[in-house]
Structure formats: structure tokens, C-alpha cells
Amino acid sequence: ELVPEKRFLFVPALNKAVGSRFLDARVRALGPDAHIFGHTHFSWDATLGGIRYIQPCLAYSSERRTVGAAIAAGEAFPLRGPEGPLLVCDGGAFPPRYQCCWSAFYDRHARRPDLANVLPAFVARRYRRVEGIGEVGWGDGVQPPTDFAPSWSLDPQWNGGGSTRGVVDI
């Protein structure tokens, strides 16, 4: 529940390499206020079962130049000042939830594993199209994750000098 669905990923097998049932059970058994995680290159901030899950994604420099919306968290992280880590706790208190496009996307849209035949353009470009099979898009009534991204992350200054590759399509 803490990464986009397989059909939204450049590398569909990513879900096999992140998280596990064992880790989920262990985190839930420990019952922390928050679980800070990483390595999937998607910023995330969501509360599930009373536990706040935060992923302050740093990403590769190439991702910072092209997919700012997917890695942005809140008002500045990680692309524009001040340099430093994302604040996750201050004096025993957590900051308000950070705006992250993918976790906000799932606040509004249920997961749809049954829609394996609908791929967004940025994923569909990686495959050979077979006429009459599948469709390109997000699905009926679904807003793309960039609609929920911090507005600054869509600025050309933060997405490759105005390139829409990976930003408008994301």
C-alpha cells in the first residue's frame, strides 16, 4: 500500500523487491507512531492503521531533473532549499502531513488491480502496442498523480527546464 500499483511503475517487478508481509507484521506489532522508509523513489506520506508512513525520497539527480512531482514532498523537499533532511519529528511532535503526489493520489482513488489493461502514457511508451488490446490513460474519472503534487514541483525550474517528459504524463 506504500508504492504505486504495478501498472504505474517503470519497473513492474519493483513491488517484489520492496516491503514484505513480515515487515508489515513487524511494524504493526511494534505499533510505532511513524515508520520512516525509503528506496522506492516515490515520496510518500500516509497514515494506515494508526501508523504514519513517511518516505522522504532523495532520488537520482536525473530523476530530480525530470520527475520532480513524483519525488517532491511538501514545500521544498528534496529539490529546493533549504538543503537538509525532511523534518519528520521536532521535539516529540510530528509536522503536518506532507503533500506527496502518489500518497495523495491514493487518498482519492482506490487501488484497481483489475485494471491491468490500462497504462498511463509514461509506462505505455515502454511497450509495443497491440491494436485493440488495452488502453492508454488513467481510467475513467481518475485524475493523474500530478494533480496532487506540490505546485512548485511542476514549475519548469524543477522539472528539467520545461520538459514535460515524466511530469505532465506521470
Model confidence over 32-84: pLDDT tens digits?
999 999 888 888 999 999 999 998 887 777 777 677 777 788 877 776 555 56
Given this model, what pLDDT does residue 109 score? 94
Beta pairing partners, 34: 52
Q: What is the spatial distance between Cα 32 and Cα 48, in angstroms, rounded to a whole number?
A: 12
pTM metric for this prediction: 0.82
Given this model, what pLDDT does residue 110 score? 93
Yes or no: say if 2 and 106 are a contact pair by the CB < 8 Å rule. Answer: no
Residue 25 has pLDDT above 90, yes or no: yes
What is the arrangement of strands in the sheet containing 34-36, beginning at the earlier edge strand? Answer: 34-36, 51-55, 44-48
Average model confidence (pLDDT) for the chain? 82
Given this model, what pLDDT does residue 158 score? 59
> Who contacts 159 (Cβ-Cβ below 8 Å, separation ≥6)?
65, 66, 67, 68, 69, 153, 166, 167
- Reported as a pLDDT band with limits 50, 70 and 90, residue 9 is confident
